[in-house]
Amino acid sequence: MRYAVFIFLIVLIDLIYCWNSKRSFFIPDFLGSGDGTPKSKTESVIEERMEYGRMILLVCNKTCAKHRSDIPLWLKEFNQKKGYQEPETITYYYHTYRQAVSFIDTNETDVFPNLIYFIGVKRVVFNGDVNIREDVNDWIASLDQLILLEPRVYEDLNVILSDTSNCSSKYLLLADRPKCPQPSWSIVARIAQDHGIQPVKIGHPLDGLTHVLLYKRMPYLSEASCHLSVLLYENSYSDFGDDINPLVVSDWITTLLPLEEGSCPALFETYWHPIVDELTELQQIFYSAELEISERNKRPAFVLVGLTGGIAVIILAFSIFWGLNGSGFNKD
């Protein structure tokens, strides 16, 4: 109990601090000193790029004109080959290393010139030969790799929802709906993957049975919400809501997931809800029929028929009323 209260206070203080400082997201520890010291231009660029995307920083300790020409060209060709558009595009920036800065750890950076990859609250140093294009491309490709699950039918998603009981499997459900696209979903998926969480992309529109499965087994999800970003762990789920800013998601993942592994550690119940048991065949039939009726009632044709019928009934009622008040029923 004390542990839960302690965690709650930490989260509350962090949220209050972020609100008061007008920060739109959680800044990684390696950006800024935290003491109000003005940021360098490079720090500001990294912070801006990481809010919704990712980037590679070329770091030189002296003039490196050739690398400043080659690296952005190689990166551009890599993005084009992948067909990436913002914010999935891996962006580029350059920094001359003359003095200690927060975003370069000299214990991790063995050589100069060097490359550093930034995404979420993570940074990865190349420490290879930046003159060899094949090595640079292989490094970028390894960082770019995204293993994504895309359940196609009811049973696929049902298995995922039931697969966290062993306290080792973790999933992040994401959706990129046509009516409210979420361009940064792939960045969030990669961040989740870096945390050992399997990203799952839910295709839309959902068929009736899959819709029933999603919102009946996780009843606290809002059907009115445009986006879907739900963390699954230990037969429980936590809804991130409509805000899936990559840095916010990264911070929430580290906050919500316990440090212990493999022993089913207690979750912070304030932000978690239990996943409901699998639906029986009878429940599937009943809820699917209920959804179908609800959807039909929302269609313009059904609304028009109902409205027309309602008006006709009202007119008929008035006709009968005036008829009853006519000469045939008038005592005078």
- Alpha-carbon distance of 81 to 275, in angstroms, equals 41
- Alpha-carbon distance of 68 to 130, in angstroms, equals 11
**Residue 328, domain member (yes or no):** no
Domain containing 207 equals 154-279
Same domain flag for 181 and 273: yes
**Looking at the DSSP assignment, which residues form a beta bridge with residue 128?**
none
**Residue 273, domain member (yes or no):** yes
Same domain flag for 234 and 127: no
Q: Which of 144, 166, 199 is the last residue of a domain?
A: 144
Same domain flag for 119 and 43: yes
Same domain flag for 136 and 212: no
**Residue 59, domain member (yes or no):** yes
Q: For each successive 10 residues of the chain (332 residues), what is the average pLDDT?
A: 47 42 46 56 90 93 93 97 93 92 88 94 93 97 95 92 86 84 88 93 87 94 84 92 79 80 72 93 90 77 48 50 48 46
Angle at which helices 154-161 and 208-217 pack, to 10 degrees? Answer: 10
**Residue 255, domain member (yes or no):** yes
| pLDDT at res. 311 | 53
Same domain flag for 133 and 236: no
Same domain flag for 161 and 261: yes
Same domain flag for 166 and 212: yes
Same domain flag for 174 and 96: no
Same domain flag for 104 and 189: no
Alpha helices (runs of H) in the chain, residue ranges in sequence order = 2-20, 41-52, 65-82, 133-144, 154-161, 185-194, 208-217, 246-256, 281-298, 300-324
**Residue 43, domain member (yes or no):** yes
Q: Which of 231, 251, 279 is the last residue of a domain?
A: 279
**Residue 103, domain member (yes or no):** yes
**Residue 242, domain member (yes or no):** yes
Same domain flag for 82 and 187: no
**Residue 14, domain member (yes or no):** no
DSSP state of 257: S
What CATH number should be reported for the domain holding residue 84?
3.40.30.10
Same domain flag for 49 and 94: yes
Which two structure tokens, joined as six digits, stand for 166?
């062993």
State the pTM of this model.
Answer: 0.76
Number of domains composing the chain: 2
Q: Which of 279, 301, 321 is the last residue of a domain?
A: 279
Same domain flag for 274 and 167: yes
